Copies of this chain bind each other. A is one copy, B any other.
Amino acid sequence: MNAPRPRNLPAEERRNVTVEAVIDLAGTMNPDTITTAAIAKHMNLTQGALFRHFPNKEAIWKAVMSWVADRLMTRVEKAAAGIDSPLEAMQAMFMAHIAFVAEHPGVPRMLFGELQAAKETPAKRLAQAMLTKYAARLNALIADGMARGELREDLDAGAAGTLFIGMIQGLVMQSLIAGDMCNIASDAPRVFDLYRRGIVAGGA
């Protein structure tokens, strides 16, 4: 039934497994407190063996953030692709983001943690770059929506972007208080409805 799971993995696959282990662990603890020993234990490896595949811990975090930026942006952009209406595209983007977070609860924690790190690490730069790209994508949609008259012409694009990110953070916060990610998927559309009312054109 189970795969045979060889003890020795090829280097690249071992690196992938390491990244997944970190993301997994970040779902149950503060990312900054994850030790190399904990990572190794979680993937049934000795601690020292990790350093055969990564030069140092910083490189592990760099790989993790790279994975996050890649996967999250791909998912989000794929969800919005092909949707004509900017507003519908924003909703699809939002729901895809929430689904990703529900699958990987550690991701928003890692992003928040990296952003507030004191030192300028490669991982922090990756996180900043991703969020900058994300914000640009969002602003383009908002500008398009305003141009088309779908969104209010007097809409504050900057505030709309901040609140979009805030929706996600608010839902994450809520799930942290609740202690699980169960409700996040069902709460998300209800929060977006509120958001939509704040940005769409036309009263009523």
Contacts and interface: CB of A to CB of B under 8 A. Distances in A.
Interface in A147-189: 156, 158-160, 162-174, 176-177, 187
A13 interface: no
B176 A116 contact: yes
A29 B116 CA distance: 6
B167 A174 contact: no
Given A118-B29, A118-B30, A190-B156, A171 B177 contact: no
Q: Binding site of A, secondary structure by majority: helix, strand, loop or mixed?
A: helix
28 contacts: A30-B32, A30-B113, A30-B116, A30-B117, A32-B33, A109-B116, A116-B176, A128-B177, A131-B177, A132-B177, A158-B187, A159-B190, A159-B191, A160-B194, A162-B171, A163-B191, A163-B194, A166-B171, A166-B173, A167-B170, A169-B173, A170-B170, A194-B195, A194-B198, A194-B199, A196-B198, A197-B197, A203-B204
